[in-house]
């Protein structure tokens, strides 16, 4: 089934992020964001924040992406998700987000939320494809240019249900 859903994802694997991954994560972070997190921020997330869950996406054993979330009661809040530029356009960001959503569901989370720049239509389209719906704006959320953030929410499948069972149920 996994091969059928993701035929071009051979060689991809996912695992929990460790402190030793921070140097690789920093490369991805700086390549992906105009307001990158610091090494200290990631270290604190991994060692101090008991709500935080972070994963590494590897290709042939090398980190090529990562994603993180906070899990609070029954909601997951995506903190960040990024893929190295050289590996974009392969639908691996989608694969990474699906894995994060599955992990959240497996942890008993019922809903997932995130913020995305109002100008980032590529990311918004991915989120919509995976069931996220706009729910409001955070005015001036991004401190580099005071851009607004679109708040989006998705319902997660019940723990243990088939991942992607709702795939294709909505068109955008």
Q: Which residues are catalytic?
A: 115, 127
State the virtual CA torsion across 100, 82, 68, 130 in degrees, nearest 10: -30
The span from the CA of 137 to the CA of 30, in Å, is: 25
DSSP state of 159: T
The span from the CA of 52 to the CA of 8, in Å, is: 30
Helix axis angle for 121-129 and 92-106, nearest 10°, is 50
**How many CA atoms lie within 13 Å of 161's alpha carbon, on the beta-carbon side?**
15
Length reported for the chain: 172
Cα-Cα end-to-end distance for the chain: 25
> Beta strands of 122-161 (E only): which ranges?
133-138, 149-155
């Amino acid at each position: 089934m996994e091969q059928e859903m993701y035929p071009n994802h051979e060689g991809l694997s996912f695992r929990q992020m460790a402190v030793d991954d921070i140097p690789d994560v920093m490369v991805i972070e700086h390549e992906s964001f105009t307001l990158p997190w610091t090494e200290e921020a990631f270290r604190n997330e991994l060692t101090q924040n008991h709500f935080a869950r972070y994963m590494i996406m590897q290709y042939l054993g090398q980190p090529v992406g990562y994603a993180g979330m906070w899990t609070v009661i029954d909601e997951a809040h995506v903190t960040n998700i990024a893929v190295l530029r050289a590996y974009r356009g392969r639908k691996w960001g989608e694969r990474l987000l699906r894995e994060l959503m599955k992990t959240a569901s497996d942890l008993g989370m019922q809903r997932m939320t995130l913020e995305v720049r109002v100008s980032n239509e590529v990311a918004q389209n991915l989120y919509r494809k995976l069931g996220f719906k706009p729910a409001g704006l955070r005015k001036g959320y991004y401190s580099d240019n005071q851009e607004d953030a679109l708040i989006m929410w998705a319902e997660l499948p019940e723990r243990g249900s088939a991942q992607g069972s709702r795939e294709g149920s909505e068109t955008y």
